[in-house]
Structure 1
Amino acid sequence: MAQYNNSPEWIPSKSESTVIVVGAGPSGLATAACLTQNSIPYVLLEREDCFASLWMKKSYDRLHLHLPKQYCELPLMKFPSTCPKYVPRKDFLEYLDNYVDHFHINPLYQRRVVGASFDQDSKKWHVRVENTAEGGHEEEYLGRFLVVATGETSDPFCPAIEGLSSFPGKVIHSTRYKSGKEFEDKSVLVLGAGNSGWEIALDLANHGAKTSIVVRSPVHILSRGTVNVGLFLLKYLPLSIADALMVLLSKITYGDR
């Protein structure tokens, strides 16, 4: 993995740039690459000690991109031809590492944003940051534009469920799940039917767990092939029509049960 000199002694307590990007996940890295390509100065702030921290630290072993690789490439760089159609976690992290190297992206790590405000007089954003690597002292960054690329699922959420505190078994969030090996021959209940829920349930079953899954609301089950059809339709049809056709195809294929 690429290593960067992120020592705070060369970073002033107040710094100004054209663009401030918050979050060094795939979206933040893509933004940084496009800014670099257009010679636009920017600063990239990341609260963790690495880029793509969800992929690095909080993803399970069998994780793959859920769409074909041509739909998941970041701007200005394709996946290597050697990558499989559905890119596994290890290959995706290698791709991101090469992306960071190629565009000379140098995030400022362990910078936790604590506030942001827009000054009408100067027409600039003022972003206050806590430098957790240096005892939490505060830094300020100024920029004409602010890009928030923190993602919508960056923090795990565990709902309060009656009786959960007295449950004698193991309870973990999907961000702490790695493999189904330790759950062989055990009864496991998966809550939620998003991408992670389905893939973890499959991984558990493949490792011999007695797996059940609970879904709060009705879901439409789509195979990889069906999803590819939907992506093709979106090239020519409005989202509402493509979505309706996909729901119909799902009912024809799997029934309405």
Structure 2
Amino acid sequence: MNKELKRVWVPGPVIIGAGPSGLAAGACLKEKGVPSLILERENCLASLWKLKTYDRLRLHLPKKFCELPYMDFPPEFPTYPTKQQFLNYLNDYANMFSIKPIFEEEVRLAEYDSNIGFWFVQTNNFEFVCQWLIVATGENSEPVTPELPQISNFRGRILHTSRYKNGYEFEGEKVLVVGCGNLGMEISLDLCNSGAQALISVRNMVHILPREILGLSTFGLSMWLLKWIPLKLVDLFLLLSSLFILGDTQRFGFKRPKIGPLDIKNTIGKTPVLDVGCLAKIRTGKIKVVPGVKNFTADGAQFIDGRVEEFDSIILATGYRSNVPSWLKEEEFFSKKDGYPITPFPNSWKGNNGLYSVGFTKRGLLGASLDAHKIAEDIAQQWNLNAKYMHLAL
């Protein structure tokens, strides 16, 4: 027998997700005088950051590119804040705007009723009814664990990066890291610094860039250059700078895509790796690069070039994906294939019937802030002029 859900009318928007994107949307709405209700499936703010990231994580971009609307990072924070500093910033942000999400309410179904013009959002305990629905669950809501050839043969430990905290529990082990994105590279470095021997399995082509060029953030410098010169010339500058600073990364086993790092980010959303020290360990042989896995064995793996390696553990740095298609019953705005808005940036923030998305731009926290401002402005106009009902108290 299905549990009877308590129905709750919400006067303003319902925001799904209490990560940075959801908080930014809530704060921008509050600045416009529009109340909102945030639903969060976990028991804390920014659950991905707090529960599913490794201890040594820092922001990949300088803090000025990661600030949420209306609140700067504390001046004493370093250029690249730590995980805990960022979590403290988000807690202070929620307190500043008196944002109080309803925790441990997982959305299981969200559907628009065209007959009455409202959204019905079902969680484990309630059914919320609202005129506006903001999806802020983000690009990384579910870990991706791909089917790898004969991985069930392996007798050692296997875990996704969402369960990895630090390398000390792997001290003395030989560990295969599957995936060479920012996650895979940083965790390999952490393993190496913790006394483990790390192997990075590289199957796909990847751009590796220095985190800074001439003492400036590579990202920040790129954004400034794009104001003056075409993207392809900026990409050429980045590749030449990378060659000068990092050397030819292809000789280590990292093949570069033919399309430039910014171009590939804009077209398919693939983020370049910003090196924070992993390449130095690869140069000295302390971290080993291996090709893609052909098949796993009880004690290790055979790789596509024929070589065989034994190792104690496998860490899957295979990324995350959106889970929106599993609960949002909507056909026009969000893609059923990948859970992203079908319309690309900069118009990916608004759908039909009061549906919005924040944090799906593939442009990090800066993109989420841009979305939040646009959404708040749009809803505020409707709130002030065309609200369908009086402001009801929950």
Q: Which residue of 2 aligns with 1:8?
A: none
Cα distance in 2, alignment partners of residues 164 and 249 from structure 1: 39
In structure 2, give the amino acid aligned to 1:209. A
Q: 1:63 to 1:162 in 2, by over 3 A?
A: same
Partner residue in 2 for 1:94: 88
Name which of 145, 152, 159 aligns with 2:132.
Answer: 145
**Higher mean displacement: 58-67 or 207-216:** 207-216
Taking the aligned partners of 2:50 and 2:68, their CA distance within structure 1 comes to 17
For the pair 1:129 / 2:123, whether they are aligned, the reply is yes
2:189: which partner in 1? 202
> Is structure 2 residue 178 aligned with structure 1 residue 191?
yes
The two structures have a TM-score, normalised by structure 2, of 0.57
Instruction: Determine if contact 2:208/2:249 at 8 Å carries over to the other structure.
Output: no
Shift of 1:240: 5.5
Q: Which ranges in structure 1 are unaligned for 5 or more consecutive residues?
A: 1-10, 132-138
Structure 1 residues 209 and 241: CA distance shift in structure 2, 3 A:
same
Q: Following TM superposition, by how much is the alpha carbon of 1:47 offset from its aligned partner in structure 2, in angstroms?
A: 0.8
**Cα distance between partner residues in 1 of 2:226 and 2:13:** 32
Rounded Cα–Cα distance in structure 1 between residues aligned with 2:53 and 2:105: 22
The alpha-carbon distance between structure 1 residues 237 and 121, as it changes in their structure 2 partners (threshold 3 A), is farther
Contact 1:17 1:143 in 2 (8 A): yes
Relative to structure 1, is the Cα distance of residues 146 and 240 closer, same or farther in structure 2, using a 3 angstrom cutoff? farther
Q: Which moved more, 1:94-103 or 1:190-199?
A: 190-199
| Distance in 2, Cα, partners of 1:176 & 1:88 | 18
Q: TM-score when scaled to structure 1?
A: 0.86
Counterpart pick for 1:246 among 215, 235, 238:
238
1:72 aligns with 2:72: no
Could you tell me whether the CA contact under 8 Å between 1:65 and 1:88 is conserved in 2? Answer: yes
**Alignment-derived partner of residue 19 in structure 1:** 13
For residues 1-20 of structure 1, the aligned pairs below 5 Å read 13-20=7-14
RMSD: 2.0
- How far off its partner does 1:232 sit? 2.7
1:182 aligns with 2:169: yes
Q: Which runs of 5+ in 2 are unaligned?
A: 251-394
SS of alignment partner, residue 199 of structure 1: helix
Q: Which residue is equivalent to 2:200? A: 213
Residues 122, 236 of structure 1: alpha-carbon distance in 2 compared, 3 angstrom cutoff: farther
Is contact 1:17-1:141 (8 Å) kept?
no
Alignment CA distance shift 1:12-1:65 (3 Å): same
Kindly provide the amino acid, as one letter, of the partner of residue 181 in structure 2.
Answer: G
Q: Distance in 1 between matches of 2:229 and 2:95?
A: 38
Number of positions where the alignment pairs a residue of Structure 1 with one of Structure 2: 240
CA distance in structure 2 between the aligned counterparts of 1:77 and 1:247, rounded to whole angstroms: 34
